[in-house]
Amino acid sequence: MKKSLMLACALALSVLSASAFAGDGFVRAEVGQSKVKGSLDGGDSAHDDDTAYSLRGGYWFNSNFAVEGNYSRFYDQTLYNDGVDYAKGKLSSIGLGVVVKEHATPTDLGFFVQLRGGIARGKLSVNSSLGNGSATSTKPYYGIGAGYDFSKTFGVSLNYDHNQGSGDGLRISANTLSLGLEARF
């Protein structure tokens, strides 16, 4: 299936006209705060906050549309430690999506708003004195942002993103507010 998906993407890209490739590659780093919530089907739930970061990269086909790949780390904390027994949890994701951006001016500089969304594969890892384990799930993610492009090659933004995952009766969500710096080349 992966080979079929890669072939379909390659064919779709080859059909695009040469002018569509007049855009820019980009890299983006974001850092902020995630609120991670977990709940069991039985009704028990808990939440915690942690510093989050995201590394994103992709290609702007024009000033309004891009594709992106991303890695995000939402949570990395000790859940329990009494000196003998311990439990540590990590929550991260890797994803692929699209970004749509609209500037307030016709020059494609200055203030903008953007929407992004796609599919992310989330991973919850637990390392404890009783053993280690992890679980993954693939779910949609989405986000919104507002920012300022200082030049054709640099911009900043404030972003809100929602990621989710589930499995074996556990549902997890991460809502992240972050500041992003983007360089285009």
What confidence tens digit (pLDDT) does each residue in 137-172 have? Answer: 999 999 999 999 999 999 999 999 999 998 888 899
pTM: 0.83
Widest CA span in the chain: 62
Task: Give the pLDDT confidence score for residue 147 in this predicted structure.
Answer: 98
Place 2 in a pLDDT band, splitting at 50, 70 and 90. low
Number of C-beta neighbours around residue 161 at 10 A: 25
Q: How far apart are CA 94 and CA 145, in angstroms?
A: 19
Indicate if the pLDDT at residue 15 is higher than 60: no
Q: How far apart are CA 112 and CA 180, in angstroms?
A: 13
Q: Which conformational region is residue 154 in: left (phi greater than 0), alpha (psi within -120 to 50 degrees), or beta?
A: beta
Indicate if the pLDDT at residue 8 is higher than 70: no
- Arithmetic mean of pLDDT, 86-94: 95
Place 121 in a pLDDT band, splitting at 50, 70 and 90. very high
Cβ(149)–Cβ(112) under 8 Å?
yes
| Reported CATH class of domain 28-147+157-184 | mainly beta
